[in-house]
Amino acid sequence: MAALDAAGEFETIARLLRPLAHPDYARNLADDVAVLPFRAGYDLVLTKDAIVEGVHFLPDDPLETVAQKLLRVNLSDLAAKGAEPFGYLLACHWSPRCGWPEREAFAAGLKADQGSFGIHLLGGDTVATPGPASFSITMLGWVPKGRAVSRAGARPGDLVFVTGTIGDGWLGLQAARGLLTLEPERIAALVAHYRTPMPRVVFAGTVRDLATASVDVSDGLVADLGHVAAASGVGIEIDLERIPVSAAGQAWLDGRVDLEAALEQLCTGGDDYEIALTVRPSDEAALRREADRRHLRVSQIGRVAAGQGVTARLAGRPIEIRKNGWTHD
């Protein structure tokens, strides 16, 4: 199919992507396909997320972190299902802005995260578009046979936990757009969180062993818990004062007049890439122990009840959540 491009498909593949290829399965990116042997006792878990310039990343985000974010949003989906990642297929829709230095930066971002997360490139496609640039990844992982965690297993009485902190993704987007007034190091921390969120890959095994249901927090905490509530046929109650926030998030909250509206914003902003999970009360101690061993914060933010949907309380008082998280279409 026809479109010449200054930086060149073959050159991009040969010089930038081939060094990232899986040594066994990618056929050196020279055969249009990856060929993957069966792994006895495991299921294959696949997820696919796409990102678009101006929609999911900002036009002046460095392509190195764009590549990392692309990998990480997909890794986050696997972690929430208890799967261990091993490789990915990549489609790059390069815009005219993506010259050779930008592609080098993109490949450097991929390379850095391949090392961090133990994954390799399996194949893909690279095409030109008049713009905006966009990218998609199909990420593959393994999970012991029949053990992938679903959204459907939450039961009344279960406790609701979340890893890390909530709201930094949304605050980071505001910071990257120059819309926040905070100390420079707070701004830098939030922008870094927005550009390179940390998927909870190290917690996947614990989620698999202990969660009755789980989801990664990408659309927004309330919306994603809403998915769990709907799939499980239960209600989920959260206490807004228990929502874990970062130091930068707390600094931002301290400057708000309307605490309720501010907390609601953090719970619906999305782009967190934490894991929200439900566990039986008898597993709480094990969950906290496994989190401590990994120096990972986990916070109980609510409980599962009979009913439907997500209800929020602040100091025991019911709060109406007006926004249900972003629709990221």
User: Are 217 and 276 within 8 A, CB to CB?
Assistant: yes
Closest to a copy of itself by CB, 309 vs 314, is 309
3-state class of 174 per DSSP?
Answer: helix
DSSP lists the bridge partners of residue 261 as: none
Closest to a copy of itself by CB, 313 vs 328, is 328
- Residues annotated within the binding site for Mg(2+) are 32, 47, 49, 77, 125, 216, 219
Tokens 């809403």 identify what position?
A: 226
DSSP lists the bridge partners of residue 254 as: none
User: Are 34 and 122 within 8 A, CB to CB?
Assistant: yes
Closest to a copy of itself by CB, 244 vs 270, is 270
Closest to a copy of itself by CB, 3 vs 285, is 3
- Residues annotated within the binding site are 32, 47, 49, 56, 77, 124-125, 151, 216, 218-219, 271, 326
Minimum CB distance to a copy of itself, residue 39 (Å): 6
Tokens 């420079």 identify what position?
A: 184
**Cα 109 to chain center, whole Å?**
16
Nearest to 300 by CA among 236, 212, 238, 256: 238
Closest to a copy of itself by CB, 109 vs 325, is 325
Please tell me the total number of residues recorded for the chain in this structure.
329
Minimum CB distance to a copy of itself, residue 277 (Å): 14
- Contacts with 261 (C-beta within 8 Å, 6 or more apart), sequence order: none
End-to-end CA distance of the chain, in Å?
A: 28
Minimum CB distance to a copy of itself, residue 43 (Å): 5
- Indicate the helix (H) or strand (E) that contains 189: helix 184-195
Minimum CB distance to a copy of itself, residue 238 (Å): 21
Closest to a copy of itself by CB, 38 vs 254, is 38
Nearest to 233 by CA among 272, 200, 274, 278: 278
Minimum CB distance to a copy of itself, residue 285 (Å): 28
Minimum CB distance to a copy of itself, residue 162 (Å): 17
